[in-house]
A and B are shown apart, each in its own frame.
Chain A
Amino acid sequence: MDFLRKYMYPLITGIGILVALLVFSLNVPRNREANGVERSTLSILSPLFRPVSRMSGFVEDIWDGYIRLVDTHSENLRLREDIRVLNQRVHEGNEALLANQRLERLLDMKKSVKAPTVAATVIGEDVSSWFRTLIINRGSANGIREGMAVIAADGVIGQTVKVSATTSRVLLLTDHASGVAATIQRSRARGVVKGKGEMLCTLEFTTREEDVKVGDQVITSGIGGVFLKGLPIGEVTMVKRGEYGIFQTISIRPAVNLAHLEEVLVVQRGGYE
């Protein structure tokens, strides 16, 4: 008895360790199955898990949705600003691309013109709707004089009138006071392109016998010295030969969209003081 009393604690410790190892070694082969102890324990505790889990979710929601969102508002504002800046860059990029395409076409036209030219930007339009003129940002200081031809990438626009030091007015093809000596490209029939207002022109003084058809291209004839020969003016959209009269009525749609002009070239040739 004295022996047991003396060595009780070491014995219990050893037996405990031995039992623990035994339990462990017995459960090692069945490590994927729940034994009775496990099942019972889970069954007892599971009713407690659910509300605690819900509570944890609630706390987590509060944590994630409110406490951790202290900086979200400022982050949201920053991201919105980022989006705005990026959208602006995309817009500027698109604008630059379109300007590049327009200027590339204008450059092609500039190369094809056998005379010095000055590039100009349209800065204004006629205040009245009765006349068809534009204001460009180049004037006599840039070597522009009245009566010089103004062209765009697609063809003739008109000619300069009322030139000041820094700006010039351009009388468009479609103005009633405008007149350009022209030729039908296919048949070489001649006439004068006169403005009709409303973005349209007519080819006048073309006799009935001349061969003109709808779809024919109208180009400058070079007569008069203002416009170089062969520049596109427009396309014939209507031909009418009446029973009487010596001329035919020909309508022309200008090659250039005069309503949306931005960059133009002034041909520094001819003109008058």
Chain B
Amino acid sequence: MSRRAAILLSGLVILSIVIQVSLLPVFVLPPFKPDLLLVIMVFLALRGSFETGAPLAWLLGLLNDVCSGLYLGLNAASFLISFFVIKSISDRLYADSAILFVLTVAGVTLAGFTLNLLLMVTFTTSPGIAYSMLSDLFPRLLVNAFVASLVSAFPGFDSKLEVS
């Protein structure tokens, strides 16, 4: 990844965290808070390289865990698994497509829900959390897809992230 892309990505991640932690809770109900880090991870998975994308996906998930819930490593695991799945098929897809990006974000939201639920049910004692997660799933999916569509509308979405 080029120096410029790294700085841009770092700034974007910090901005996303600040928005999600301090700005959105004031104006948006919890189920309608978008997963900005998840959107960034999907972008990296579709457009970035495997070598830099994989650790970044894990780090983004870890960052999400630092600001969310009790279980450090939960989202890190689900982000990394999602990254691997996307990466394994992204070579056969037209990764520059905006529609594919939106659909992938929606799919990863669904997959993330399933993975997180599975991990929590398996490793933690959080009875009843499945109900909360399930009730939030649909609005979350729609909001994430909406944010992805906004991202894809940005000028420069088509440009390559990696510089060889």
Contact = CB atoms under 8 A, between A and B. Distances in A.
Interface in A146-200: 161-162, 171, 175-177, 196-198
B8 interface: no
A135 B21 contact: yes
B127 interface: yes
Q: From B70, B124, B127, name the one whose CB has the most chain A CB atoms within 10 angstroms.
A: B70
A161 B136 contact: no
A14 interface: no
A130 B129 contact: yes
B17 interface: yes
Interface in A195-225: 196-198
Contacts of A124: 21-22, 25, 67
Question: Which secondary structure dominates where chain B touches chain A?
Answer: helix
A119 B75 CA distance: 32
Interface string B117-160: 00000001111110111011000100000000000000000000
Contacts of B70: 131, 133, 161-162, 171, 175, 177
A133 B68 contact: yes
A131 B22 contact: no
B116 interface: yes
A131 to B, nearest CB: 3
B131 A131 contact: no
A126 interface: yes
A229 B50 CA distance: 55
A129 interface: yes
B64 interface: yes
A76 interface: no
Interface in B49-97: 64, 67-70, 75
A128 B164 CA distance: 36
Interface in B1-52: 17, 20-22, 25, 30-31, 33, 35, 37
A133 B69 contact: yes
Interface string A210-250: 00000000000000000000000000000000000000000
B116 A130 contact: yes
A263 interface: no
Contacts of B30: 125-126, 129
Contacts of B127: 176
Contact of B20 (A127, A130, A176): A127
A197 B30 CA distance: 11
Name the 5 nearest CB pairs between A and B, nearest first: A131-B69, A197-B132, A129-B30, A124-B21, A125-B25
26 contacts: A125-B21, A125-B25, A127-B17, A127-B35, A127-B64, A127-B67, A127-B68, A128-B33, A128-B64, A129-B31, A129-B132, A129-B136, A130-B133, A131-B68, A131-B69, A131-B70, A133-B68, A133-B70, A161-B70, A162-B70, A175-B70, A176-B127, A176-B132, A177-B125, A196-B128, A197-B131
Given A125-B22, A177-B124, A197-B128, 5 more contacts: A125-B25, A126-B67, A126-B69, A133-B68, A133-B70
